Amino acid sequence: KQEVTQIPAALSVPEGENLVLNCSFTDSAIYNLQWFRQDPGKGLTSLLLIQSSQREQTSGRLNASLDKSSGRSTLYIAASQPGDSATYLCAAILDRGSTLGRLYFGRGTQLTVWP
Amino acid sequence: NAGVMQNPRHLVRRRGQEARLRCSPMKGHSHVYWYRQLPEEGLKFMVYLQKENIIDESGMPKERFSAEFPKEGPSILRIQQVVRGDSAAYFCASSPRVDRSTDTQYFGPGTRLTVL
């Protein structure tokens, strides 16, 4: 069974800081890993998807890395802004036919960026 | 192209009543997933459906819960005889399933179910 853990559970920083959010998973047979953003009372927005053959993906101020061998992914947020305040979730899809399509989520990191 | 639509956004039921949650996937998407987010917990997979087929329902409770995705119309998650422990946010996601290595799942805004 895949277990996904995110550290820290909560993070509060002043505007402008560079941030690192961590995600670890127990089953290295992942097919891809996604990072999502969830705003209070709303759905999830996909930020980045890293395929198992890739090591990182970048989008604007966001960079996500993946190390399958150590079971870790990291989301790096550069020059944080108050608008980045949200809960960040990582989720993995296993490379197993029986669980095709199923996303395994961590509990998230609740980020607050204050002006 | 409208995103994934879910309705109702909020649903209040008394214990023992039935809850029906609807999900309309993005246009062109034929794969639907349902997830549940209990208070203070992460999202948990419930069921994965294609049009007229249940592909994986291993995350769904064995009793009182059912899901369908008919040829026409939205996907429905049905909870019979609701109990307080069913109070949660229920999210639907869809994908085109063209290439599972690159497909992302697009999530709806969720339905927040409160059982009194």
Q: Which residue from A52, A102, A104 is facing B48, i.e. has the nearest CB?
A: A102
CA distance B32 to B50: 6
Mean pLDDT score, B36-41: 87
- Give me the tens of pLDDT residue by residue for chain A, a chain 115 residues long: 778 999 999 999 999 999 999 999 988 778 789 999 999 878 899 999 998 888 999 999 999 999 988 999 999 999 999 999 999 999 998 776 656 678 899 999 999 999 9
Q: In what order do the strands lie in the sheet with B19-24?
A: B5-7, B19-24, B75-79, B65-68
How confident is the model at residue B4, as a pLDDT?
94
Does B56 contact A102 at a Cβ distance shorter than 8 Å? yes
How confident is the model at residue B99, as a pLDDT?
66
* pLDDT over 80 at B7, yes or no: yes
Amino acid at A9: A
Percent of chain B with pLDDT over 70: 95
Q: For chain B, list residues whose CB is within 8 angstroms of any CB belonging to chain A.
A: 4, 31, 33, 35, 41-45, 48, 55-56, 59, 91, 93, 95, 97, 100-102, 104-110, 112
Give the DSSP letter of residue A81. -
* Residue A31 token pair: 């097919």
How confident is the model at residue A99, as a pLDDT?
61
Mean pLDDT score, B84-100: 87
User: Which residues of A fall within a CB distance of 8 Å from B9?
Assistant: none
Q: Which range is least confidently modeled, A23-27, A47-51, B94-98, B107-111?
A: B94-98
| 3-class SS of residue A60 | coil
Does A103 contact B106 at a Cβ distance shorter than 8 Å? no
